[in-house]
Structure 1
Amino acid sequence: MPWPWRRKSRKSMARIVIEGAISGPTRERVVKALRQVEEREFPALLLRIDSPGGTVGDSQEIHAAIGRLRSKGCRVVASFGNISASGGVYVGVAAEKIVANPGTITGSIGVILRGNNISKLLERIGISFETVKSGLYKDILSPDRALTADERELLQGLIDSSYGQFVDAVATGRGLSDSVVRAFADGRVFSGAQAMELGLIDELGDEEHARRLAARLAGLDEEKTQPVLFGKPQKRLAGLIPGRNMLRGLQQALSLELAWCGQPLWLWRP
């Protein structure tokens, strides 16, 4: 007899939420949830995305996991919330259909990589680094000096490769040509209404609209089928204290800025 959490769910719908920046913890939670949905053989998945994007590798792993789920016959509909940009778009285009609100902020298709050049500040306070390295480019993006022309060219090649992967995923997922995608994939953001005109989404509507669409695609009862939530993020008690959510948001933004320095990102950074 199968375990209760592995019972077949052929007449139900699953729901997974991707909220906030996409990073390692998000990828672990979401990929695990997608695996559970696959094991229980849900015929439909409602994927709610409210994210500015994040790291390239983590976005790609979630995208691949959605693809595996769809290959098993699960109908996946993505619902874009307040924002689904950059890596959020990359994840979303793995779905069969995408629904966004007319005012959803989406797009920002592109790659960004930033380092911190604080050499002038270090010079003013009398700090200098002594570096021993095994290769010419081993200390690329070191904060104590500016990039050389060769280093900038090397990093631009890395960015161009990552950008090409992004464009290819959007073109494949949305049934568009590479040239059409590149025409609007220059980092700009769109409203949901504009994104629909470009072919980046399928329909305008809220999450309830997306739920009904997923039910229709899977042959489920639109009125009665309610999603079963998987991969729910853990809530911390500190989040219940007034003002702590804003403080936690600022702390997370600073932590991500430091942790992601020097990494190519699929991230909208206004």
Structure 2
Amino acid sequence: MPWPFNKRRNAIARIEVSGAIGGKTRKDVLGFLKLVEERKFPALVLRIDSPGGTVGDSQEIYTAFKKLRDKVKIVASFGNISASGGVYIGMGAPHIIANPGTITGSIGVILRGNNIERLLDRVGVSFKVIKSGPYKDILAFDRELTEPEKNILQDLIDVSYRQFVRTVAEARNLTEDAVRAFADGRIFTGEQALDLGVVDRLGTEEDARRWAAELAGLDPEKAKFVDLRSPKPFFSRLVPGSADALMNWTEFELSTNGQPLWMFRP
């Protein structure tokens, strides 16, 4: 049952981004943001607990938050981990808070492909490939990359990296050179992120809620959270949480093999 309009005016919407960022995350978050706008919530807390994910999905989520912040007061709250693409989507919020021990950073791009050429040689399997150009099967799993292919992929990674650096610099009012100084893939804590200018404050999600209430002119003691989340699929409700997480991660790994990722991979 939808909340009455007068109650929504005194409530703060909450959206959580957890786990790897992919197509489902993008679809869910964009749907939630549409609800926030349609139901005229005055404030929103974006809770991020993610190591990052695909570049395109992260960019679309960031853009959607950036567009909404002219209408809704938005505070991003970094949880246990908000790294790489998790940082990127957080840049769509004008106000960011992190726990002192939050693991964040890992600003950069990674692309991985599988190479099982030696295994195929051992079992006597080979592939015959007919292609329209020399790079049509780039990142093929049955052979090593050539030097020209490595250069092509490095150029791709470099362009994506520049996009990331530019976004962080613009969002945090930093120079691109200042961002590059710590955007080398390293991770750092929330406390270090504050010193670097990546976040505005240290605190909990409750602190983020109170901050969002103040920005929207609400009484922090009375403003309530309205948690917007998708119901779990039926199968996910039947298996233990750790097994469900493993299956989701495996699915993500298989579906994004060979794609550039804004992701922290320990």
Q: Shorter-chain TM-score: which interval?
A: over 0.9
In the other structure, the counterpart of 1:172 is 170
Residue segments in structure 1 that go unaligned for 5+ positions in a row: none
Secondary structure in structure 2 of the residue aligned to 1:67: helix
Alpha-carbon distance change, 10 to 240 in structure 1, aligned in 2, over 3 angstroms = closer
User: What TM-score, normalized by structure 1, do the two folds share?
Assistant: 0.93
1:6·1:36 contact (CA, 8 Å) conserved in 2? no
Distance 1:254 1:219 in 2: 44
State the shift of 1:54 in Å.
0.4
Q: Does 1:11 align with 2:10?
A: yes
In the other structure, the counterpart of 1:76 is 74
Aligned partner of 1:233: which letter? S
Aligned partner of 1:267: which letter? M
Residue 263 of structure 1 is aligned with which of 236, 259, 262? Answer: 259
Residue segments in structure 2 that go unaligned for 5+ positions in a row: none
State the shift of 1:217 in Å.
1.0
1:31·1:62 contact (CA, 8 Å) conserved in 2? yes
After the TM superposition, which of the residue ranges 88-97 and 36-45 deviates more from structure 2?
Answer: 36-45
- Residue-by-residue CA offset, 1:190-215 (whole Å, 9 max, x unaligned): 11111111111111111000111111
In the other structure, the counterpart of 1:56 is 55
Distance 2:57 2:3 in 1: 26
In the other structure, the counterpart of 2:231 is 234
Distance 1:256 1:209 in 2: 32
1:55·1:265 contact (CA, 8 Å) conserved in 2? yes
State the shift of 1:249 in Å.
2.2
Q: Output the aligned Cα RMSD.
A: 1.7
Q: Does 1:193 align with 2:191?
A: yes
Q: Does 1:254 align with 2:250?
A: yes
- Residue-by-residue CA offset, 1:201-242 (whole Å, 9 max, x unaligned): 111111000111111111111100012122x1323565566x
In the other structure, the counterpart of 1:38 is 37
User: What TM-score, normalized by structure 2, do the two folds share?
Assistant: 0.95
Q: Percent identity?
A: 58
Distance 1:226 1:96 in 2: 21
Distance 1:69 1:55 in 2: 22
Matches within 5 A, 1:84-103: 84-103=82-101
Equivalences, count: 265
Secondary structure in structure 2 of the residue aligned to 1:144: coil
Aligned partner of 1:119: which letter? E
After the TM superposition, which of the residue ranges 63-72 and 152-161 deviates more from structure 2?
Answer: 63-72
